[in-house]
Structure 1
Amino acid sequence: MFYMKDKILIKVIDRLGKKGCHRGHKLGDCFDFDSERGNLCPMAMHCAFPYIDILRYGGKLPLSREGDIRFCCSDADTALVFKLEIVKPGR
């Protein structure tokens, strides 16, 4: 049996800090974890990876008040908010 893993999209949905992203990310940017993770800021990727690892191995994550999975980058001056979207194969 061939197993297709879920696609995981990483979307920039908000900014909490006052400064813009030093890597140039802005609201609305979206990255496919498998094919575009090299385009994501390493600081954001460092924060995203544990969440993605848990999802890929069948774990569950707490949901935000909006019902989705969110995390922030570790740059305190910027603090971009990212949302993880899981796309099932064939969709």
Structure 2
Amino acid sequence: MTEKKPKIILTIIGRLGKAGCHRGHRIGDTFDFDNDRGKLCPMAMHVAFPYIDILRYGGTPPRAKDGKIKFCCPDCDTANVFEITLKEDLL
């Protein structure tokens, strides 16, 4: 039996700071958590993982004031702002 899991998409929706991303990420870049792990900056993935883990096990992570699931990478010179979206697909 195949287990249903949400497909998790991470999209860069903004940037806090004026410096460019050291990994070369830009606003609008999108990453599929299951298929693009090596493409996403490890620092951003480190921050994203608790949100993803909560979602994969049916929990509700903290949400921004607009109700969306968002987080920032930890780079103090360029904090990329990510949004997490779910797609209910079979993996």
TM-score per shorter chain, which class?
over 0.9
Separation in 2 of the partners of 1:69 and 1:8?
11
Q: Which residue of 1 aligns with 2:19?
A: 19
How much does 1:59 deviate? 1.1
Alignment of 1:3-82 (within 5 A): 3-82=3-82
Q: Which runs of 5+ in 2 are unaligned?
A: none
- Distance in 1, matches of 2:31 and 2:18, equals 23
% same residue? 60
Deviation at 1:4, TM superposition (A): 2.1
Deviates more, 1:51-60 or 1:23-32: 51-60
Per-residue Cα deviation, 1:42-79 (whole angstroms, up to 9, x for no partner):
11011101110111111111221221100000000000
Query: By percentage of residues, which structure has more helix?
Result: 1
Cα RMSD, aligned residues only: 1.1
Q: Structure 1 or 2: larger strand share?
A: 2
**TM-score w.r.t. structure 1 length?**
0.93
In structure 2, what is the Cα distance between the partners aligned to 1:21 and 1:12? 11
Q: Distance in 2 between matches of 1:30 and 1:86?
A: 13
The SS at the match of 2:85 is: strand
Q: Any unmatched runs of 5+ in structure 1?
A: none
TM-score (norm. length: structure 2) = 0.93
- Within 1, Cα distance between the matches of 2:76 and 2:19? 9
